[in-house]
Structure 1
Amino acid sequence: MALARYIHPNAPDPVKDKYIPTDDAIFKSPYGPFPAISQDLNVHDFCFPPDQPLPQDYDLFINAVTDERVTLHQFYNRACSLARAFRHDGPNPLHLTPSPIDDRGHGGEILGLFSRNHIHYSMLAHACFRAELVFGGISPGSTAFELWHVLRKMKVTSIICHESLLPVLREAIKLGPGGESDGLQLVLDEKKIIVFSDDASLDAVLGHPTVESLVKLGKEMSEPTRQRRGGERLCYLFQSSGTSGLPKAMMISHKNAIHSGLQGMVAATQGARFAGITEFPHQIVLGIVPAYHSYGMILWILRVNLTPATNIIMPKWDIELALKSIEKYKISYLPLVPPLVRQLAQSPLTEKYDLSSIVSCGSGAAYLPPDVAYQLAQKLPNKTPIPSGYGLSEAASIASGAVEGLFGLKPSPPGTIGFLLPGMEARVVDPDTLKDVPKGSKGELWARGNVVCMGYFHDAKATAELFAEPGWLRTGDLVMRDKEDRIHYLDRLKEMIKVKGLQVAATEVEDTLLHHPENLVVDACVAGIDNGKGDGSLLPRAWVVLSKEGKRQSETVVFAKLNEFVGERLSKHKQLTGGIEVVDSVSQLPEIKLWW
């Protein structure tokens, strides 16, 4: 595949040109700008240009458990078929309405995607892109209460639900329309529930049509020639906790999505040019990062057909299955999160399997401690410390380490964020005065670029808090910019707790504790404590002030009731695995430092 597609005509030469650090408050990526794209480009047409034939076929997705396979050509044909069934202006068997183009109006079709990783998940997303149907990715670990909240926050009108998660969906619907306390209404039409079944022979499950039935139906439909729209139009919603507070629905435009996929391609192309490589090698990739997350979205959805890759998809983490898959499929690239890096680094199981096929490994979604990065490196063929990327759901990728010598850049050892990725600009700002700070000083990282999201869906207040100035995203993370323009992570302003790479909003857990039906507590503070494993992951812990009713009962009983209530309403990673402690006042607690 031609590398020139991913290079701006004025991009710097990775060998001849040297990046010169600047003392300007606004600093830019050493990679240069993005290549120009059409203003109205649709994500699907970016990945599968209509005027270009498909490359030679290959296995695109493989189920690590069953060895079931989907080739690139099968993927494309299935996505086209399903898109015909999804078009609101076609035969429209589901009676879908047009999707909104932003959040300035009301109504419009929003399709929820509620599933674990699956070899057909990416196909669902591309069918939506092609049909101009906005979708919202939802965590498959959601409890019924969390799902109910997200369905209302995203204003989901239709949903694709994996058959294993139907009981959770039914319980969520039973919670009713809502709106009494938070103004959010459930608008899901139960006639528009589509089941994602592992049995391809089924056309219906519990009276609901299956994805396969719609793919079959779409194959028989004609498709008129049309210009698909994209650009600044709303493309999909992410389930995000934002920089603080309860879960929100984050808006990603086609322009945002395309540049999130393109960004890694620009960096990879410049790296290839630096190494004297003229074509991208075919990679075999371990597929454990969840597709509903921005990290997984880039890997499994936004880069399809941009570079040749076979993705070995795991529905859930199993270290031995991962190691068996590395050996069986000769996996060459491991995209991981810090807890998995630690587990692979420390597990004796790694000695049982052949890891010689691994060319590279990366970590994202959370802070990767340097010692863990070095530990796993010693078990891999090239012994290179595991690099860690930096981004947010609101801007999927902002910075990462670069190959030493590329544009004359210095190394980015573990513990640093690295250099700005293609197309990005940044500032380091005093969070109190909102004034730029000099190099070497601590401040909040602000970022600007085409990957930065549109804002939060129907939440103008949260959007205003996210953007301090037009276009400038406040990350909520405290960093230091060194003399080379490398970024060093220091601390965080926001109250998010990272548990195994997943976000936990302290306020969400606190709110749950305060709403126990027996009113056991009158105040609560939740923060993350070190899990003791050295992987940067935290354990949520609560400090509570008991009510009269709480004091009347024993602490053991109160703790049991609170844990049970949190467990019923919130996902496993949000539960109080760090314990509960009774205090007289949360205002007297010492400051608690939190990692990502």
Structure 2
Amino acid sequence: MVYTKSIYESVEPIPDQNIHDFLFNSPVQPPIDDWTLYIDAVTGVKTSRSEFIERVRDGTTALGSWISVGGLGLAPSGEMVGILGHNCMNFSAVLHSLLALTVPFALPSAFSTPFELAHALRTAKCTRLFVQEALLPGALQAAKEVGLPDDRIYILEGRVPGRKSFDDMIQTVRKRKVPRIAAQPANRNTLAYLVFSSGTSGLPKAVMISHGNVISIYRQGEVSASVEPVPPPGSPLPMVLAFLPFYHSYALQLVCMRGIREPATFVVLPTWNLDLVVKVVPKYKINALQLIPSAVHQLLHSPKVKSEDFDSVVRISCGAAHLPMELKKKLLTVIKNCPLIGEGFGMSECTVSAMRKPSPLAFGGKLSIPLEAVGILLPGQESRIVKEDGSEAGYNEPGELWVRGPNVALGYFSNEKATKETFLPDGWLRTGDTFTMDERGNLFFVDRAKDTLKISGAQVSPAEIEAVLTAHPGGLIIDVSVAGVSGGRTSDELVPRAWVVLSEKGKQLGEAAVVKELRGWSEKNLSKYKWLRGGIGIVDEIPKNPTGKVLRRLLQERYEQSLREPKAKL
């Protein structure tokens, strides 16, 4: 039976504490008094940790003070604040201000179309929204659709005439010398924020992360660090390239939060931009890269990338999706001063991660972890490998990975059905991913057991695309199925393809016209990474089993076989 516990020492019980106090007001002081926390890669503006702390304290006061003194009057009961924006210092400052107040927030994708954003705002039941100026038009459209009042939409960064901004709010409380508001009490199950995950099916669901969940991952990190070698005196401060989106669990934890407690400097890019990356890495002598497979692919295949520009890099970590073996090997030949690639496995439903690959020197160098392995369980984590029939898999036998630990989320917000399917009553989280485990506790990724696709590190739900196609007002189709087919950036990345059954209206219009119409409709209502890059196929029926479950695998196999068949010569 493949059931195992982490080989690390156990994690101390998670306290009933606001994560703000844990990060900002801990009695355990950082090893240095102050450091540059953020550098804006575009403007070069630097923000020290002490400056950021002052901004968050003023932001907490601005958001929580009475309206009569210039605040927003936010209170935990009945509020859910949306934050919509690309990476910027204010994004981090707003979320920390809300954490201090114990006012929960929701983090929709900055690339959302108005259709997608409306779904996110509706799902999270957002009562207010902070949005970057460039994203305001789409936000106003989505807000109108869900009934979010216009006067409850604020500017996250910069200023827009006639609309309150976070900067304005801070200036007001500073000018009026409004007494600062202290962090509010929280317990381990107090809701901290919502992040969106496609899960196993349907439109994106809102994952509930508690204050205790976030504290647990720092406790896990402290135990993990205790078996790693101590950096020699005078070691350079980690200088980290920060392009991963702050609304994603990976960057939210590693950039927006961890730097408050653990000294590091983050060079912040609004979004991934290879031209900017190749400039700032040598300029700031960046020594740590936090990557995703799609970024790795670009680094390896762009003529703009020169190996010598990355000579300062000594640490690489990769997450958000599985990194194929061929990319691991190639990356280490381009970035030559990095001995290995730190990997792990995680998902929003376990706050950020459940396993990680320690350094070769951890545990006194006694571990031997194969390059192919994803890692070992984090402290306080348990796992099971479960076969399709519900029985336990044996060593080196594939099955669905289940994990349990203090970092497992509370469930899905206002979605009891989905919560029961994924979060089991005894604390186990069904990941929906197929793994194997060897006798030494090394875990190996096999495949995605669920239908959700990973494209450029982001989850894409086939059912979400199906819902958009079905919603076409023309009534052109009567059935649809979406699944992943070959054609991605890497050998194991799949792209969405739709198979549709035409209605009578669709047949009258003609196949070519229907495909064109559906493609335009989907691209209007879906983010670019969700577009049907695998095409749209017309079929007579969608194959299903006796219980009505769509046989996506059969559709995929037929399509892949058609690609292999030789084309007839004219």
The CA distance in 2 between the partners of 1:370 and 1:258, in whole Å, is 33
2:149 maps to 189
The CA distance in 2 between the partners of 1:570 and 1:226, in whole Å, is 39
Q: What are the residue-to-residue correspondences of 1:350-429 with 2, within 5 Å?
A: 350-351=305-306, 353-382=308-337, 384-395=339-350, 396-404=352-360, 406-407=362-363, 410-429=367-386
Paired amino acid for 1:455:
G
Q: What are the residue-to-residue correspondences of 1:494-505 with 2, within 5 Å?
A: 494-505=450-461
Residue aligned with 1:345, SS: helix
Q: 1:438 to 1:250 in 2, by over 3 A?
A: same
The CA distance in 1 between the partners of 2:73 and 2:183, in whole Å, is 18
Structure 2: gaps spanning 5 or more residues: 544-550, 560-570
Q: 1:520 to 1:75 in 2, by over 3 A?
A: same
The CA distance in 2 between the partners of 1:404 and 1:52, in whole Å, is 28
- 1:370-389 CA-to-partner distances (Å, cap 9, x unmatched) read 10111111011335343332
1:231 maps to 188
Q: 1:410 to 1:224 in 2, by over 3 A?
A: closer
Q: Is the 8 A contact 1:115 1:161 kept in 2?
A: yes
Residue aligned with 1:236, SS: strand
1:169 maps to 139
Q: Is the 8 A contact 1:429 1:444 kept in 2?
A: yes
- 1:465-504 CA-to-partner distances (Å, cap 9, x unmatched) read 1123421000011111111111111122211011101111
Structure 1: gaps spanning 5 or more residues: 1-23, 101-107, 178-185
The CA distance in 2 between the partners of 1:416 and 1:392, in whole Å, is 17
Paired amino acid for 1:421:
L
- Return the offset for 1:86: 1.6
User: Higher mean Cα deviation, 320-329 or 261-270?
Assistant: 261-270
Paired amino acid for 2:286:
I
Residue aligned with 1:120, SS: helix
1:221 maps to 178
- Select 1:264's aligned residue among 213, 221, 224: 221
- Return the offset for 1:319: 1.1
2:565 maps to none
Q: What are the residue-to-residue correspondences of 1:112-131 with 2, within 5 Å?
A: 112-131=82-101
Residue aligned with 1:209, SS: coil
Q: What are the residue-to-residue correspondences of 1:471-486 with 2, within 5 Å?
A: 471-486=427-442
1:455 maps to 411
1:315 maps to 270
Residue aligned with 1:578, SS: coil
Residue-pair matches, total: 545
- Select 2:207's aligned residue among 230, 250, 267: 250
Over the aligned positions, Cα root-mean-square deviation in angstroms equals 2.3
- Return the offset for 1:168: 0.5
Q: Is the 8 A contact 1:400 1:420 kept in 2?
A: yes
Q: 1:461 to 1:225 in 2, by over 3 A?
A: closer
Q: 1:279 to 1:555 in 2, by over 3 A?
A: farther
1:10 maps to none
Structure 1 residue 67 and structure 2 residue 44: aligned?
Answer: yes
Paired amino acid for 2:387:
D
- 1:408-457 CA-to-partner distances (Å, cap 9, x unmatched) read 55443443222111221111112332x32222222111101111100011
Q: What TM-score results when the alignment is normalised by the length of structure 1?
A: 0.86
- Return the offset for 1:90: 8.5
Q: 1:92 to 1:462 in 2, by over 3 A?
A: farther
Q: 1:476 to 1:409 in 2, by over 3 A?
A: farther
Residue aligned with 1:362, SS: strand
Q: Is the 8 A contact 2:16 2:186 kept in 1?
A: yes
User: Higher mean Cα deviation, 59-68 or 279-288?
Assistant: 279-288
1:439 maps to 395
Residue aligned with 2:259, SS: coil
Residue aligned with 1:145, SS: helix
Q: 1:90 to 1:46 in 2, by over 3 A?
A: farther
The CA distance in 2 between the partners of 1:26 and 1:422, in whole Å, is 15
1:287 maps to 242
The CA distance in 2 between the partners of 1:227 and 1:512, in whole Å, is 41
Q: Percent identity?
A: 35
Q: 1:280 to 1:469 in 2, by over 3 A?
A: farther
Paired amino acid for 1:375:
K
Q: 1:419 to 1:71 in 2, by over 3 A?
A: same
- Select 2:526's aligned residue among 570, 573, 583: 570
The CA distance in 1 between the partners of 2:235 and 2:99, in whole Å, is 26
Structure 1 residue 46 and structure 2 residue 4: aligned?
Answer: no
- 1:14-71 CA-to-partner distances (Å, cap 9, x unmatched) read xxxxxxxxxx65311122222455x221111111125567743322111111111211
1:87 maps to 64
The CA distance in 1 between the partners of 2:342 and 2:35, in whole Å, is 29
- Return the offset for 1:533: 3.2
1:103 maps to none
Q: Is the 8 A contact 1:398 1:424 kept in 2?
A: yes
Q: What TM-score results when the alignment is normalised by the length of structure 2?
A: 0.90
User: Higher mean Cα deviation, 409-418 or 487-496?
Assistant: 409-418
Higher helix share: 2
- Select 2:122's aligned residue among 141, 152, 162: 152
Q: 1:343 to 1:265 in 2, by over 3 A?
A: farther
Q: 1:384 to 1:583 in 2, by over 3 A?
A: farther
Residue aligned with 2:38, SS: strand
The CA distance in 1 between the partners of 2:22 and 2:235, in whole Å, is 18
Structure 1 residue 143 and structure 2 residue 98: aligned?
Answer: no
The CA distance in 2 between the partners of 1:576 and 1:164, in whole Å, is 26
1:11 maps to none
- Return the offset for 1:222: 0.5
Q: Is the 8 A contact 1:528 1:540 kept in 2?
A: yes
Paired amino acid for 2:260:
N
Q: What are the residue-to-residue correspondences of 1:483-494 with 2, within 5 Å?
A: 483-494=439-450
Q: Is the 8 A contact 1:47 1:304 kept in 2?
A: no
Residue aligned with 2:341, SS: coil
- Select 2:8's aligned residue among 31, 38, 48: 31
Q: Is the 8 A contact 1:376 1:385 kept in 2?
A: no
Paired amino acid for 1:260:
I
Q: Is the 8 A contact 1:110 1:134 kept in 2?
A: yes
- Select 1:559's aligned residue among 515, 519, 536: 515
Q: 1:386 to 1:555 in 2, by over 3 A?
A: farther
1:583 maps to 539
Residue aligned with 1:528, SS: strand
User: Higher mean Cα deviation, 312-321 or 384-393?
Assistant: 384-393
